């Protein structure tokens, strides 16, 4: 099911477009876009998950979060996503 909000697009972004595997490798979600495809956003939501520690140590991911944060009035997170925001220096 695709969520639609008139006049807006919800985009799942990962380092690269395509399948993103969970920490155990047994489930993949499909990223709509890669970091290079999304230079700005109206809202940034950083989700939680067991893979947060790897993201906290990924300079490219942290740089992207910082860059998007500069373009949006709303940067928010869910649970361990806040640790990613902290690693990016945004808390």
- The residues assigned a catalytic role are 79
CA distance 53 to 58: 9
Q: H helices of the chain, where? A: 52-56, 59-71, 81-87
Output the six-digit token pair for 50: 């067991």
Q: DSSP E strands: which ranges in 2-89?
A: 13-14, 18-21, 28-31, 33-34, 43-46, 74-77
């Amino acid at each position: 099911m695709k969520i639609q909000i008139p006049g807006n697009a919800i985009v799942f972004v990962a380092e690269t477009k395509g399948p993103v595997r969970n920490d155990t490798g047994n489930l993949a979600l499909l990223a709509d876009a890669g970091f290079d495809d999304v230079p700005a956003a109206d809202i940034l939501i950083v989700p939680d998950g067991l893979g947060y520690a790897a993201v906290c140590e990924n300079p490219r991911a942290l740089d992207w979060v910082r860059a998007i944060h500069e373009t949006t009035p709303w940067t928010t997170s869910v649970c361990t996503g806040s640790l990613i925001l902290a690693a990016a220096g945004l808390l």
